[in-house]
Chains A and B, each alone.
Chain A
Amino acid sequence: MSTTPSSADMRELASSRYAGDVELMQAIRKDPALTQQQKRADILRTQSTTRMRLLANAMRVCPDVLPDVAGAVARVQARVDVGKPLEAFVFADSDVNAFVTEGSSRFLVALSSGAVQVLSPEELEFVIGHELGHALYAHTEVAAGALVESDDVSEANTKLLRSWQRAAEISADRVGLLACGDPELACTALVKTLAGLPLPGARFAPSDIASQWESLLGEMMDAGATDLWQHSHPFLPLRIKALDAFWTGHQAGNETHGDPETRTFLAMMEAPGTRSTEESGQGLLARFLLWGGLYVGLAEGSLAPEGRTRLNALTVPGVDLDEALAAENPTELALAQFRAAKTSRRTKLRADELSSILRQLVSFAALDNHFSDPERERLGHLARELGLGHRAIELLIEQHQEGTKA
């Protein structure tokens, strides 16, 4: 459904920001080591020559030379007030790309020639709105790229910065969507970016990319790709899913704006063992947690309601928990699927992944504050399936109980 955006809609922008973006940005600003590095980056930014380089190597957007682009910029600018003048450029690059940077007195938005050729002026409004979203939410104040490349930033902080960058892209996409006012337009812009093709007259809905997303999710889980956390941007199909979740919540007047679903999607690109994956039980290990959790949860005959809620929240492509529970022997099915999750992994489970799986399964078994003998036995069985001894589970249960007491 398309709506005509107005500046009044933009008042919702503050509340539309993805909560994960806000939380991670706060974490970055609280970190003393990153604050120190940020100060150095701020000094360098005051000496930035980006505008000079754009004026030298790109075409400044003006109605006479690039009327369509100038029109799109003007329309978005009227809807998204970033508090400073805006100057737009088009630079020569066949990729569909864009960036925003903050100068001393203005924001500079640069669009690649590939973006201008592939996207319609209306679709460009999504891209320009996205870039202004970065400006609006002060994303430009954190020199994440420079910090990540610095030798003085720890791996843990590099992971934090990358997580935030991906979360910031989600927020910026939301502004892009509100700026163009049409989820299909936004989706089409992202699909065309994926294909790098103009596809004249084509329009795409998020449902058109759903099966590609499911396949991608399955591949990511099988690959166990632990380097996904290094990406500064979420994968485009993930962004489409996140935008769809946002828009659905937005239209329904839902205050969460699709944030819980978005967290689930983004967890797939997090490094294993990070807080966000541990807390949500999401990420590339979700298949182990779902089937392992079901196997342990059925240890005493039936799945408790709180266990069911926990398992239902896990995102595993092509799996319906109700169907699994209705199977002739759900326990055998769960164990077989747990084994299949291990077999289909193309890379060996790392120690931190093994730890994450078992700790979360132990925590799952303890939902009723009690470890029954059948639960202990099944946890031990799963540990053996993962190549570990029963003693590992005993120690993890002991540590869990000590942690609970503390």
Chain B
Amino acid sequence: MSEETLDTKAIVERFAEVATLAGIKGEIDEDGDFAAGFNLKDDRSQMVFARPINTPGGPGVCMFSHAAVYKKGMFGGISKEVALELLKRNEDLSFARYGVREFEDRYLVVASLDALIETLDPAELENSVWAVAYAADCWEEKSGQADEF
């Protein structure tokens, strides 16, 4: 299926419907993503987003949560040690992955997980979004950044 034929609105609405069945309240934000907040241990919280994507198996969603921001610059960016640590932690994660998204002035570390929308059920969605939220929060806490996301 090509990018042009991906019905992003229908996918996000379907995701929101399954999220409701999973007891998760969220809303569709200005980017067209589904967004929901999660309260974690020690008064920490995390926002998780769901964005429509194409997968080899058909239309899907990428559930992701922001973990940390690394500004670019002579003394900024992501060090080799940090990158290596992310890779090592990726190996230990069961239901999410860390990744780096590059922007003009910064790198954003996100925890994410993809799922096919057609077969997504409430239990899978609930497990997935919590896994993503925990993984993102875990890196945010480890990296010493404030509970920003």
Contact = CB atoms under 8 A, between A and B. Distances in A.
Given A154-B7, A395-B25, A387 B20 contact: no
Interface in A378-406: 387-392, 394-396, 399
A350 B20 contact: no
Interface residues on B, range: 10 to 19
B93 interface: no
Interface in B1-59: 5, 7, 10, 14, 17-18, 20-23, 25
B122 interface: yes
A294 interface: no
A348 B120 CA distance: 12
B97 to A, nearest CB: 24
Chain B interface, DSSP helix/strand/loop, else mixed = helix
Interface residues of A, number: 19
B121 interface: yes
B7 A351 contact: no
A358 B122 CA distance: 13
A352 interface: yes
B23 A352 contact: no
Contacts of A156: 10
Contacts of A355: 17-18, 20-21
A13 interface: no
B123 A392 contact: no
A354 interface: yes
Contacts, number: 43
B20 A354 contact: no
Contacts of A354: 21, 121-122
B120 A391 contact: no
A351 B23 contact: no
A354 B23 CA distance: 13
A159 B103 CA distance: 41
Nearest to B120: A351
A351 B25 contact: no
A395 B7 CA distance: 25
A396 B25 CA distance: 10
Q: Which 4 A-B pairs have the closest CB atoms?
A: A391-B23, A389-B23, A351-B18, A395-B20
22 contacts: A154-B7, A348-B121, A350-B121, A351-B120, A352-B17, A354-B21, A354-B122, A355-B20, A355-B21, A387-B122, A387-B123, A388-B21, A388-B22, A388-B23, A388-B122, A389-B23, A390-B23, A392-B21, A392-B22, A392-B122, A396-B20, A399-B20
Interface of B: 5, 7, 10, 14, 17-18, 20-23, 25, 120-123
Given A355-B18, A396-B20, 14 more contacts: A350-B121, A351-B18, A351-B122, A352-B14, A354-B21, A355-B21, A358-B21, A387-B122, A388-B21, A388-B22, A388-B23, A389-B22, A394-B23, A399-B20
Interface of A: 154, 156, 348, 350-352, 354-355, 358, 387-392, 394-396, 399
